[in-house]
Chain A
């Protein structure tokens, strides 16, 4: 029996799970994390880019809030991302890992553009808006329904299935752009005549209001409705769900229809309240970023407003840094990455307590 050399010594650090933490304290930990992140990026910027970090922060801030136009862009971007995050949330609460928000949104966008191209001028504009909205929602729902059916009846892996559906959606857009692109360029012309009307002279306000309404509805649906409760039970334990007589297949299918339909709706907003055309890059990875938004907010729709805002703020800021300071785009990305890492990392200190030898000091900074 060999003996270790360090006899009668407590380990330097040991970690215990916290029982519960007050709201104020957890906020304090988060605030400290952000301060630490800013200090750390300042050091990195000074060393790597030889720039004054305060100038970098200022440019980041101006990228997000510099002009009214930028502010509206920021808000619109937040809303689109929030919309997709809200869409994946019911599925995620059910522990159905829907990685197909990208494709479901793309197919919604394609449906909107197709409506404009094919019969936009064949009916009065208000009626057309209603028809287009319905079609986009239904198409998105179908894109969500397909993997749900396979999951419910054949227990296929939903992650792979939904991922593959993304590529199909993308290729469908390429296909139709080739057919419909009149000049053979493979792009669809802009059709601004079918754009949703401005509200109070602002082109973004409609999308922002629509997504905020959806956010409120989703919060109520998940927290206070019977269907939302069923989603939670199925997500937590399928056995319990069966035991109390929940039809698990039905819940999976119903929830994915909602998830897909919402994605379809966001796709509609991207086209009919945005570009008025479609291309394969229109969703631009936001179907995946939305997963992070949803997780960071612990699947709470109200918190998602904050997490979506944070991510878009960082993106706008990062873009501005590279243009203002003529730096490589990667400096912006590094800044964004560090800040996100600190914010996510501080959750560890919210859930666990770190003890040092002989002292019971708490560690807040990551």
Chain B
């Protein structure tokens, strides 16, 4: 019998007291796509990092083609034909695609860029990539950058490819393209491991699925013989319903009216172009769109963090009934007006929280100014931290643990918990479940739903269309900084939204950017 391309035997890895992987046995056959499935913090990335030479296993061994090997560095991994495409790209912005691809290769050959370009093009043609070898990274879209990363490992002769959540940053269309390429690579005899959270992707791309739970390998099953429910059960160990409750909005009142807001960035590009909509109390307004279509600028404009060149944002105060214009107000001024606006930004540790501070001090971010005293009150934030830890089941050693030590889902619970604790009337959340496992995602959906039922106007920027369709009342689709449609989430379809997302392509942000550069 032919040996598997890659085998892991009894691999264990611990960090301090935390067992990241415990006695994992896994094999990857030649010419197959293996999906690696598991909740956040179940040790998927750690396991893959051991194969890629970033970590070294404490126990157990790795076999390539039946031979035990020692991989102590990414260089070793390349020597064995293993290439990993990380979630965060490792590319140099001012270099071209080819320059990035050839970077760090020491094969004794003379460096000739034209030869590299030809070879890159050859690889691209073989598997159906679209890539311009001479294009600079900083002018590329996310999906193009990903292509460069993949070609980079192929260029080095990788036979085993590991992709860590490659679809997290892609649109459905781009994902389809990526999958087509992956299938072609598989048919060419490459072995591929793909990490993803999205169940329908697992089912559509993989030949087999390996499930990890709490650092242990639960099972590897053939994709053809399994289904979503079975996989979910293996993954989280108990049955969960995949339905999100959606109640009808109760007496919706217009809470936030955005009129014709426009913003122009330093390159002269319209990041927001004449955006007008109304958010009602007691409803969840979804915002869909390709990443970078103006979602961030929109939320930051409302929060007082982004300068807009035109338009107004009117807040209808539920207690006084006054209309307040939030335009050109700082976050502090907005707060002083009595506007209870909460914002869960996309960048949790870089914006919403301070990674090196503990949970208590992070609670204080919103409340520390209260009172005239020169000194801090740590008592109330401490109580809040403890109640959030208990109510949202945050897994942490204590309230005085720095938040960067928590896993992604727990970080998000801390952030959302704090924002909700301010009893907002408007709650904006940007990609609040990105990178979260199913259980944590549902905790977040439930929290948003609770807020909706309390009469909060919730604005939810999401990327998973299935979730948007199930959770929201209305969905606003933006494309290239413009609203391409606002649809009823109960009656619309995924296809309709997908079309709206790419509507009016000639005016997308990237296209305008290039035009102005010329």
Contacts and interface: CB of A to CB of B under 8 A. Distances in A.
Interface of A: 1-4, 6-11, 14, 16-20, 224-227, 229, 232-233, 236-237, 239-240, 242-245, 247
Nearest to A15: B56
A3 B376 CA distance: 61
B334 to A, nearest CB: 8
B330 interface: yes
B376 A225 contact: yes
Given A226-B368, A232-B354, 18 more contacts: A3-B69, A3-B79, A6-B70, A8-B61, A10-B56, A10-B70, A14-B56, A17-B15, A17-B16, A20-B16, A226-B376, A229-B364, A233-B354, A233-B357, A237-B354, A243-B345, A245-B331, A247-B332
A35 to B, nearest CB: 27
9 contacts: A9-B70, A14-B56, A226-B368, A226-B376, A236-B354, A236-B356, A237-B354, A240-B352, A242-B305
B18 interface: yes
B81 A1 contact: yes
Contact of A236 (B68, B303, B357, B375): B357
Given A245-B331, A245-B335, A19 B76 contact: no
Contact of B15 (A11, A19, A236, A239): A19
A7 B345 contact: no
A17 B303 CA distance: 39
Given A8-B61, A236-B356, A243-B305, A1 B80 contact: yes
Given A18-B16, A233-B365, A243 B56 contact: no
> How large, as a class, is the contact surface on chain B?
35 or more
B366 interface: yes
A240 B351 contact: yes
Contacts of B16: 16-20
B227 to A, nearest CB: 39
B347 interface: yes
Interface string B337-355: 0000001010101111111
A205 B373 CA distance: 33
B354 A7 contact: no
B243 interface: no
B374 A226 contact: yes
A3 B335 CA distance: 64
Which of A18, A20, A226 gathers the greatest number of chain B CB atoms within 10 Å? Answer: A226
A9 B68 CA distance: 10
Contacts of A243: 303, 305, 331, 343, 345, 351-352
A235 to B, nearest CB: 9
Contacts, number: 95
Across chains A and B, which 8 residue pairs bring their CB atoms closest together, nearest first?
A19-B16, A245-B331, A245-B332, A239-B351, A236-B354, A8-B68, A244-B365, A243-B351
A4 B366 CA distance: 55
Given A2-B79, A9-B70, A226-B375, A240 B350 contact: yes
A174 to B, nearest CB: 41
A16 B304 CA distance: 43
B266 interface: no
Contacts of B375: 224-226
A323 to B, nearest CB: 46
B130 interface: no
B56 A11 contact: yes
Contact of A7 (B69, B330, B366, B376): B69
A19 B16 CA distance: 5
Contacts of B374: 225-227
B331 A229 contact: no
B350 A1 contact: no
Contacts of B330: 245, 247
A3 B66 CA distance: 13
Contacts of B17: 19
A240 B303 CA distance: 13
B15 A16 contact: yes
Contacts of A17: 15-16
Given A10-B70, A243-B331, A237 B350 contact: yes
A153 to B, nearest CB: 17
B134 interface: no
Which of A1, A18, A227, A232 gathers the greatest number of chain B CB atoms within 10 Å? Answer: A1
B72 interface: yes
A11 B345 CA distance: 43
A289 B364 CA distance: 35
A146 B393 CA distance: 49
Contacts of A3: 67, 69, 79
Interface string B25-48: 000000000000000000000000
Contacts of B356: 236
A92 B19 CA distance: 36
Given A224-B375, A225-B374, A226-B369, A240 B353 contact: yes
B430 to A, nearest CB: 12
Contacts of B364: 229
A17 B55 CA distance: 12
B79 A239 contact: no
B361 interface: yes
Contacts of A8: 61, 68-70
A7 B76 CA distance: 12
A2 B17 CA distance: 37
A10 B343 CA distance: 49
Interface in B63-97: 67-70, 72, 76, 79-81
B70 A240 contact: no
Contacts of B61: 8
Contacts of A245: 304, 330-332, 335
B332 A4 contact: no
B480 to A, nearest CB: 25
Contacts of A20: 16
B121 to A, nearest CB: 25
Contacts of B352: 240, 243
B350 A7 contact: no
A229 B381 CA distance: 14
Contact of A4 (B70, B351, B361): B70
Nearest to B362: A240
A239 B351 CA distance: 5
A316 to B, nearest CB: 36
Contacts of A240: 350-354, 365
